[in-house]
A and B are shown apart, each in its own frame.
Chain A
Amino acid sequence: MSLLESIRVALEGIRANKLRSFLTTLGIIIGIAAVIAVVAIGQGGRAVLMSEMEKVGTNIFAIYPDWQSGEQPSGRSFDLSDVQVLKDKVPGISDLSANSVTMDDVRGSKDKKYSQVWGVSAEYEHIRKLNIKNGHFFSKEDDSLGRRVAVLDQALAEEIFGRSEPVGNKVSIGSTPYLVVGVVAKGDSMLGFSEEARAFIPSRSWTNMFGPYINNLEGSAVSREKVQEAMDQAVKVLERRHRDNKYISYSMEQQMQSANKITGIMTLIIGAIAGISLFVGGIGVMNIMLVSVTERTREIGIRKALGARRKDILTQFLIESVVLCVLGGVIGMILGAGGAYLIAKVAKWPPLVSWWTALLAFTFSAAIGIVFGILPANKAAKMDPIEALRRD
C-alpha cells in the first residue's frame, strides 16, 4: 500500500473517532506548545540580554589584581601612571580608566546620601558611553590636576538636590567640597548600570582623598576583535611593572559568551522539563493505539485475508500514530508560538520562533509517533488472521 493511501486510511480512522483522537493527542499538543513557548521565550530573553550588553559596549574590558594567585592586594597593584604607560605601549587600547570606589556621605543642597564614590579617569565617559544630561563630564586636565569636580548620576542628583539644579552647585563628599560639573542621565538599560546612586570624581582627586587604592583598570579596545589581544598585552606590561602582582582580565565579550551559555543551559533545562510532558503524551498515544488495535482486530483479519502483509499492517498503524502525533505537533506549534508571542509582547521581547524550532517540533512529534506507535503496530502486524477474523 502506498504512503499516500496509508495516510488517507489513517485520517479516516482519526476522523471516525474525533474526540478520542483529540484527547489522545492532547499530551502532544501541550508538550509541543510548552517546548516551543519555552524555547522562544528563552531565545527572546537571550536576544534582549545580548542587545543590552552590546549597548554597554562589546569591546570593553577590565583588569583586576588576581586575588587567588597572590596575597591580599597590597593596594599597590596599580598606580595612576599605569594608565598612560599602557596607552603608550598597547596599541589595541582605545580608552583606559583607573577606577576606585568607596562609600561615603554625599551632601547636596537638600539632603545627603551614603553613596558610592567612584574615582575614574576622564575617558570613563567614552568607555561606558555615558549620556550626560546636564553640564559635562570632567576633563583630562581636571583628572591630571586632581581638581575637586564631581559628576553625579541622576538618581543621586535628584535625591540630594531635589528639584534644584545641581550643575554649578557644591556637594560635600565626606567633608570635602566638590563642584558639580555634570549629571549622567538615567540609561534605559535593563542591566541596572545606571540605577544606583553614584558620584564620579577624577581618579587623582580620589587617591588624594582616600589613598592610592586603585581597584581596577577599565578600558575599551579599538575593536571587538582586538579586545583579547589588548587585554593580554596590558596584563604583561602590568606584570613587568609590578613584579609581585598577578592580574586577571575580563571582557564584555567573555561575559556575553558566558551569559549566552547560561541562558542556553536554562533553556535546555526548562526545555527538558517540557520534553517530559511530551514523553507522557507519547505514552498516552501508545495506550490509545493499543486500544485501537484491539478494537480493530477484525479489520486487521480482513486486511490480512485480502493480502495485507505484516509490513502493510505495521505501516498502517505506525502511520496512524505518526499522523496523530504530527497533527498534535502542528496544533501545539501554533499554540506555543501564540503563547510565546503574547508573553514576548507583555515582556517587550522580540518573539523568536525560529524555523528550526518549528522543524524540531515537527520531527520530534513524528519521532514520538514512531517510537510509541511501534509496539501497538507490531502487535497488530503479528496477529493471526484466523483468530482475528473470528473475533467480534
Chain B
Amino acid sequence: MMIQVSGLNKIYNSGEHPVHALIEVNLEVKAGEFVSVMGPSGSGKSTFMNILGGLDTPTSGSYRLDGIEISSLDDTGMAKVRNRKIGFVFQNFNLLPRMTALRNVEMPMLYAGLNARERVKKATTALERVGLAGRIDHRPNQLSGGQIQRVAIARALVNEPAVLLADEPTGNLDTRSGEEIMAIFQDLNRSGATIVLVTHELDIALHTSRIIHFRDGRLEADEKVENPLDAVEQLKKLGPAHQNSPRSGEISAPGALTEAVPHSQTLSAEQGRKGDAR
C-alpha cells in the first residue's frame, strides 16, 4: 500500500472555537493508482493534501507513506520525505522566476545532495520527458502557462518520488493546455506513477481512475471511474491548436510565480458541458 491513512483528525485551535478540518479520515491508495480528490472549498481537501504532502501534521491518527509513518517525524524527517517521497505540482506553478527551467528542475536534487553533473543530466531527462527539450534555458516568463506547468511536473518527477501530488494543476490553464497536462499525468500513471490530484472540475477528475469526495471534513464518497477520459483523445476532439484556441500553449505567463488568477467560471462551464455530452 502506497498511502495508508487511518483515523486521521486535524483540529485548528487558532480561533475561539476549535475547527475540525478533518474528521476520522480513512483512505488507502495502492501503488500505481491515479486518484482525484474533489470537494467544495472548506471541505478539508486542502488540509488533507497538505498532510499527504508532509507540509502539515495531523492532530491525531496515522499516515503511512510508502511504509513510513509520517505523523511522527520531526522537521528534518518531514523535509526528507517531501524531498524523496513526494513530488508537488501546484495550481500557480510555483517556479522561481529568476531561474531557468533547468535550474528550477535541479532544485529538489540540490536538497537531495546530488552533484552538478548528475543534476543537469537528470533534469534534462525530466524536461525531455515532458516535451520541453528545447526550452531548458528559458525562464518562466519566456514560457507559456502550459509549458510552465510542464516544467513544474518535471521538477516533481526528478527525484523519482513515491507519489505525485497535484493541487489543481489545470486550474490556471486553458482547456487545451489543461488536457495536455492531463495527458502527461496519464502517461506517467501508465508507466507506474502513483498520482493524487485535487480538482473541483469533474471533467478533470474523470481522467483519473478513482474519485474521492470530501465534505465538511469527512471523506464522504469513494467511487471508481469505469472508463476514464483519455486526454489524447480529448485533444484530438479539440482539433488543431490554432482553430479552437489560437493562444493555446502560447499564453505567456509573466510573473508565473505570483500569478494567482481565480479559476475561470466559463472554462469550467464549458468543460462541464463537454463532460455531459459524453
Residues in B neighbouring A147, C-beta threshold 8 A = none
Measured CB to CB, the nearest residue on chain A to B90 is: A389
A386 and B55 CA atoms in complex are apart in Å by 6
A307 and B107 CA atoms in complex are apart in Å by 9
Kindly state whether residue B29 has any CB partner on chain A within 8 Å.
no
A298 and B98 CA atoms in complex are apart in Å by 13
Kindly state whether residue B56 has any CB partner on chain A within 8 Å.
yes
Residues in B neighbouring A302, C-beta threshold 8 A = 94-96
Kindly state whether residue A237 has any CB partner on chain B within 8 Å.
no
CB–CB B257/A298 < 8 A: yes
CB–CB B260/A392 < 8 A: yes
Say which size band chain A's interface belongs to.
20 to 34
Contact of A306 among B50, B107, B257 (CB under 8 A): B107
Measured CB to CB, the nearest residue on chain B to A6 is: B110
CB–CB B112/A386 < 8 A: no
CB distance from B246 to the nearest CB of A (A): 30
CB distance from B84 to the nearest CB of A (A): 7
Which of B53, B108, B111, B112 is the most central at the interface, judged by chain A CB atoms within 10 Å of its CB? B111
Kindly state whether residue B76 has any CB partner on chain A within 8 Å.
yes
A304 and B79 CA atoms in complex are apart in Å by 7
A311 and B79 CA atoms in complex are apart in Å by 10
A385 and B80 CA atoms in complex are apart in Å by 14
Mask: chain B, 99-130; 1 = CB below 8 Å from A; 0 = not: 10000000110111100000000000000000
Measured CB to CB, the nearest residue on chain B to A307 is: B83
CB distance from A163 to the nearest CB of B (A): 80
- Given known contacts A1-B111, A306-B107, A386 and B94 CB-to-CB distance under 8 angstroms: no
A5 and B84 CA atoms in complex are apart in Å by 20
- Given known contacts A385-B55, A392-B258, A306 and B96 CB-to-CB distance under 8 angstroms: no
A304 and B78 CA atoms in complex are apart in Å by 10
A301 and B79 CA atoms in complex are apart in Å by 12
CB–CB B80/A307 < 8 A: yes
Kindly state whether residue B155 has any CB partner on chain A within 8 Å.
yes
Q: Kindly identify, within residues 58 to 90 of chain B, every residue whose CB is under 8 Å from any CB belonging to chain A.
A: 75-76, 79-80, 82-84, 88, 90
Residues in B neighbouring A12, C-beta threshold 8 A = 98-99
Kindly state whether residue A132 has any CB partner on chain B within 8 Å.
no
Kindly state whether residue A345 has any CB partner on chain B within 8 Å.
no
A347 and B88 CA atoms in complex are apart in Å by 66
A308 and B75 CA atoms in complex are apart in Å by 10
Measured CB to CB, the nearest residue on chain A to B82 is: A307
CB distance from A2 to the nearest CB of B (A): 8
CB–CB B84/A307 < 8 A: yes
CB–CB A310/B82 < 8 A: no
CB–CB A306/B83 < 8 A: yes
A302 and B99 CA atoms in complex are apart in Å by 13
- Given known contacts A299-B96, A385-B55, A389-B90, A304 and B110 CB-to-CB distance under 8 angstroms: no
CB distance from A390 to the nearest CB of B (A): 10
A231 and B34 CA atoms in complex are apart in Å by 99
- Given known contacts A307-B83, A386-B50, A5 and B94 CB-to-CB distance under 8 angstroms: no
A332 and B90 CA atoms in complex are apart in Å by 44
A301 and B55 CA atoms in complex are apart in Å by 10
A298 and B92 CA atoms in complex are apart in Å by 11
Kindly state whether residue A159 has any CB partner on chain B within 8 Å.
no
Kindly state whether residue A309 has any CB partner on chain B within 8 Å.
yes
Residues in B neighbouring A104, C-beta threshold 8 A = none
CB–CB B90/A5 < 8 A: no
CB–CB A309/B108 < 8 A: no
Kindly state whether residue A303 has any CB partner on chain B within 8 Å.
yes
Contact of A5 among B95, B96, B110, B257 (CB under 8 A): B110
Kindly state whether residue A103 has any CB partner on chain B within 8 Å.
no
CB–CB A306/B82 < 8 A: yes
CB–CB A16/B98 < 8 A: yes
A12 and B79 CA atoms in complex are apart in Å by 24
CB–CB A386/B96 < 8 A: no
CB distance from B227 to the nearest CB of A (A): 34
CB distance from A10 to the nearest CB of B (A): 13
A residues lining the B interface (CB < 8 Å): 1-2, 5, 12, 16, 298-299, 301-312, 385-386, 389, 392
Q: Which 9 A-B pairs rank lowest in CB-CB distance, beginning with the nearest?
A: A307-B83, A307-B111, A309-B79, A306-B108, A307-B82, A302-B94, A1-B110, A385-B55, A386-B55
Cross-chain pairs A/B with CB under 8 angstroms, 13 sampled: A1-B111, A5-B110, A16-B98, A303-B111, A304-B55, A305-B55, A306-B82, A307-B80, A307-B83, A307-B159, A310-B79, A385-B55, A386-B55
